[in-house]
Amino acid sequence: MKPPPLVMMTMEAVNTLLGEKVDWDTAKKVMQDSQFISRLKDYDKDRIPNAVLRKLAKYVEKPEYSPEDVGKQSKACRSLCMWTHAMHTYSIVAKEVEPKRIKLAEMNEELESANAMLQEKQAELQQVQLRVWLLGGSSWSLRTKRTKLRTKFLRV
């Protein structure tokens, strides 16, 4: 016995993502698997092959393949339909965000490097300021001695 059309379509989309055959017998086996829910929860949404995404797009782009319409035929499949739409949407967004994520990582590395250089230069500046302060103290001390010697010399 075949399921309602939108239930079949949902399971085809789910099986496409899971890398299974898209026939009804395989769909029943997949759903009976005790790890079915875990496979969905642990699905690696960041590494969906482009070929799978193209196949999935054929389902999610159909106007009749909406969670509301699927839910009219099966409440359980409504959630699976939502999952397939979520995986599709996530993959589209991830492809847009990935270059930005890479750029952010590069910029953070550049910032860390600049901050390290800044700390190094600030430490060098402190050393120079310390030397200037010490030289200033020496200069004052020498001027004081010179003044004392002049005074002493002039008295003589």
CB atoms within 10 A of CB 57: 14
Does residue 61 lie in a domain region?
A: yes
Whole-number pLDDT of residue 123? 96
Question: What CATH number does the domain containing 96 carry?
Answer: 1.20.920.60
Q: Helix, strand, or coil here: 31? A: helix
Domain membership flag for residue 108: no
**Mean pLDDT score of the chain, rounded to an integer?**
93
The residue segments making up the domain with residue 86 are: 5-100
pLDDT of residue 152: 78
Q: Is the pLDDT of residue 156 over 70?
A: no
- Residue 127 maps to a domain: no
C-alpha distances (whole Å) from 99 to each of 13, 46, 90, 93, 96 are 28, 14, 15, 11, 7
pLDDT tens per residue, range 91-146: 999 989 999 999 999 999 999 999 999 999 999 999 999 988 888 777 777 788 88
pTM of the full structure:
0.69
Total number of domains in the chain: 1
Q: Is 90 helix (H, G, I), strand (E, B) or coil?
A: helix
Is 33 part of any domain? Answer: yes
* CB count in 10 Å sphere of residue 78: 20
Q: Phi, psi (5° rounding) for residue 83?
A: -60, -45
